[in-house]
């Protein structure tokens, strides 16, 4: 397997994991909103909290994790864009 193919395979797998996490925090959690409302977080029903704050926080964390992981993959295969100091 060439370096380019190995890089693409790792990048593709990383993309699928990222999309699964995004799908979970944007769709799956809210499919169970009525069940989540039986619990509370900081005094608010959990589904409300996840709508107002939790999912947004999860998306920001996923964004930084995704970028960092992709930079690691790029460095591993010699496609890094960082400049050496």
pLDDT of residue 74: 93
All structural domains of the chain with their residue ranges: 29-78
pLDDT of residue 84: 67
Q: What is the pLDDT of residue 23?
A: 94
pLDDT tens per residue across span 17-72: 999 999 998 888 888 778 878 888 888 888 877 777 888 899 999 999 999 999 99
Cα 2 to Cα 16: distance, rounded to the nearest angstrom: 21
- Looking at residue 18, what is its pLDDT? 97
Q: How is 14-58 classified by DSSP, letter by letter?
A: HHHHHHHHHHIIIIIHHHTHHHHTTSEETTEEHHHHIIIIIHHHH
pLDDT for 85: 59
């Amino acid at each position: 397997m060439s370096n380019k193919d190995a890089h693409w395979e790792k990048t593709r797998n990383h993309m699928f994991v990222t999309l699964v996490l995004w799908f979970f925090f944007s769709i799956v959690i809210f499919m169970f909103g009525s069940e989540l409302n039986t619990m509370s977080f900081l005094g608010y029903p959990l589904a409300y909290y996840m709508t107002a704050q939790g999912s947004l926080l999860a998306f920001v964390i996923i964004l930084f994790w995704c970028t960092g992981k992709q930079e690691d993959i790029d460095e591993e295969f010699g496609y890094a864009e960082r400049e050496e100091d």
